[in-house]
Amino acid sequence: MSIQKVLDALKRNNMNAVLVQTKEEALQHVASLLSPGQTIGAGGSVTLKECGIDALMKNGSYRFLERYDPSLSEEERKQNTLLCYDADWYFTSANAITEDGELYNVDGYGNRVSAICCGPKRVIVVAGVNKLVKNREEAILRVKRIAAPKNTVRLNKKTPCAKLGHCICDTPDFSGCSSPERICAQYVFTAYQRDPSRITVILVNESLGY
């Protein structure tokens, strides 16, 4: 697959698109965008941790809206989730990016996909080239076969895919899974961004995350 074709497609879909070669370059690019004191929210992401962006957000220079610190109360976690929708920056990765420049993301609670859709002033999506797929069908399969099973293991969820290493569902919407701990509940394709300055995709020429 042509990386340039994906970058061009993202731009046609009104998203900024940047290619960097390494995760270190991704970190440098992100650092150049931020100013001290700005408010930052984030969705859970292995990619952000691997790039060092997670540590950057938490270094004390910014107002980071923590959601995953176990010391937080449930009320504090909910409050920070809501505050993310008014953040200066929101950082996340993508479960898949199609050759047509569409982002595909699947969530449990929906806080990540909803923030991508609307709310935060700027959204930065950092993704390795392993997330690139041909089309929507391949994007759905990538979540079923790679992203969801690996994330359920990482999150210690008791789901069929955590045990089997793949989704048990044949339907595109995962409707066959009845596990109470399933992490696949909200499914969003971002096909176009109305605000041309809002979403930036930083594509890293490495394999990162799930």
Distance, CA of 43 to CA of 84 (rounded, Å) = 10
Residue-number span of the structural domain to which 34 is assigned: 3-133+183-204
Question: Has residue 61 been placed in a domain?
Answer: yes
Structure tokens at 123: 């959204």
173 assigned to some structural domain: no
Residue 164 lies in a domain: no
Evaluate whether residue 138 is within a structural domain. Answer: no
Instruction: Tell me how many domains the chain contains.
Output: 1
pLDDT in tens, 125-167: 999 999 999 999 999 999 999 998 898 889 888 888 888 888 8
**Tens-level pLDDT at each residue, the chain (210 residues):** 799 999 999 999 999 999 999 999 999 999 999 999 999 999 989 999 999 999 999 999 999 999 888 888 889 989 999 999 999 999 999 999 999 999 999 999 899 999 999 999 999 999 999 999 999 999 999 999 999 889 888 988 888 888 888 888 755 555 568 888 888 889 999 999 999 989 999 999 999 999
Domain-embedded: residue 57: yes
Q: Is 172 inside any structural domain?
A: no
- For residue 95, the SS3 value is coil
Closest CA to 80 of 69, 95, 93, 92: 69
140 located within any domain = no
CATH of residue 119: 3.40.50.10420
Residue 129 lies in a domain: yes
pTM of the complete model = 0.92
Instruction: Render pLDDT for 189-207 as a digit per residue (tens, 0 to 9).
Output: 999 999 998 999 999 999 9
